[in-house]
Amino acid sequence: MGSHHDTVGARTGMWLFLYTEIMLFGGLFVLYSAYYRMHAQAFISTGQELDTVLGSVNTVILLVSSFLVAAAITAVQRSQTKGAMALLTGAVLLGMVFLANKYLEWGHKFHLGIYPGSPGLEDSPPGRIVFYGLYYTITGLHALHIVMGMVLLIVCIAMIGFGRIQKERFLLLENCGLYWHLVDLIWIFIFPLFYLIL
């Protein structure tokens, strides 16, 4: 009975944690909406400065990584240990590619002198300054969550290898998978707000 209550408690705790994450990013999206109403034209023109191709590639990368994590949970339920570890490794590698793309994108902007407080933004319209402030804050926070998600997936890979996560006991993997899916879902909102803005 105790283990059932532990399972319910762990699941409930995870959903509460995910709720706080949704509130965090939800608050930032509300802030974005408020500033968009004030500086719509500047937001639209500034959004066109972002690399839509790179943003689209990163969207596909995260969607595929979510599929791999879901497949890994199914593999564990079927006692396919090596398959589960390989799938999770694939998800982690895709997370690394996502971060590498984000590094290239940020690096290019920094090279152009476009970052908060930079001389390149000093003489810009207020809307452009606010857009980039939100862009760096929201995508930077999201990248941090990707790193945290990758660490959790690596822990799961190790625990599968040691037999701590298996067919009868995979709640940790399930919770880490939920976290990864949420991080991917948040990107689905970030992508159109910054890269497909109209």
Q: What is the pLDDT of residue 120?
A: 82
Q: Residue 198: which pLDDT band, with cuts at 50, 70 and 90?
A: confident
Rounded Cα–Cα distance for residues 113 and 162 (Å): 48
Percent of the chain with pLDDT over 70: 97
pLDDT tens by residue, 103-143: 999 999 999 999 988 988 888 999 999 999 999 999 999 99
Task: Indicate if the pLDDT at residue 10 is higher than 90.
Answer: no
Pair of tokens at residue 91: 């998800």
Distances (CA, A) of 124 to 46, 102, 121: 10, 24, 5
42 within 8 A of 131, measured Cβ to Cβ: yes
Contacts of residue 166, Cβ cutoff 8 Å, sequence gap at least 6: 76, 79, 81, 160
Pair of tokens at residue 198: 């109209």
pLDDT tens by residue, 15-66: 999 999 999 999 999 999 999 999 999 999 999 999 999 999 999 999 999 9
All domains of the chain in start order, with CATH: 2-195 (1.20.120.80)
Note the Cα 115 to chain centre separation in Å: 21
What is the residue-averaged pLDDT of the chain? 94
Phi-psi region at 79: left, alpha or beta (left = phi > 0; alpha = psi -120 to 50): left
Pair of tokens at residue 196: 């497909």
Q: What is the pLDDT of residue 194?
A: 97
